[in-house]
């Protein structure tokens, strides 16, 4: 599976002044049934230092849109399952652009 993390510590919660590196982990990545033709992705964002969840997102992406997105990224994985997991992680990472003041350049993607 893959995950991504911020390259530096950020303010996670301004009210509590919680800071830290943010880690994004894919909780669910699955292709829907034939009737809806969508890819469902759930990502949980954690404070990497404490492991506490700080945000959760759900994405339902049509297979056509996912195919289009796949054409915009370079995947490293070579097997089918690995490529799907990496693609879903890269999609979730792209959707995190702007969160906590971070841009795409502020995140690192890793396989584990």
The reply to whether 107 falls in a domain is no
All residues at 6 or more sequence positions from 29 whose CB lies less than 8 Å from its CB, including other chains: 39, 40, 41, 42, 84, 85, 88, 89
The reply to whether 30 falls in a domain is yes
Q: How far is CA 37 from the centre of its chain?
A: 20
Looking at the structure of the chain, the number of domains it has is 1
The reply to whether 53 falls in a domain is yes
Q: What's the pLDDT at 91?
A: 96
Q: What's the pLDDT at 33?
A: 66
Q: What are the Cα distances from residue 8, in Å, to 21, 31, 103?
A: 6, 33, 12
The reply to whether 102 falls in a domain is no
Q: What's the pLDDT at 17?
A: 87
The reply to whether 111 falls in a domain is no
The reply to whether 112 falls in a domain is no
Phi/psi for 79 (5° steps) reads: -90, 160
The reply to whether 60 falls in a domain is yes
Q: What's the pLDDT at 51?
A: 93
What are the per-10-residue average pLDDT scores of the chain (112 residues)? 90 89 92 78 94 94 93 93 93 93 92 74
Q: What's the pLDDT at 35?
A: 66
Q: What's the pLDDT at 62?
A: 92
- Determine contact, residues 18/53, Cβ cutoff 8 Å: no
Q: What is the pTM of this model?
A: 0.89
The reply to whether 9 falls in a domain is yes
Question: Which structural domain range is residue 7 located in?
Answer: 2-97
């Amino acid at each position: 599976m893959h995950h991504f993390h911020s390259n530096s510590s950020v303010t996670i919660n301004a009210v509590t002044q919680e800071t830290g590196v943010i880690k994004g982990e894919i909780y669910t990545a699955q292709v829907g049934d034939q009737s809806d033709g969508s890819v469902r992705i759930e990502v949980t964002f954690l404070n990497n230092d404490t492991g506490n969840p700080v945000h959760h997102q759900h994405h339902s992406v049509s297979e056509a849109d996912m195919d289009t997105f796949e054409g915009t990224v370079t995947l490293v994985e070579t097997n089918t399952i690995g490529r799907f997991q990496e693609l879903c992680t890269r999609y979730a990472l792209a959707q995190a652009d702007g969160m906590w003041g971070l841009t795409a350049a502020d995140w690192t993607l890793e396989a584990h």
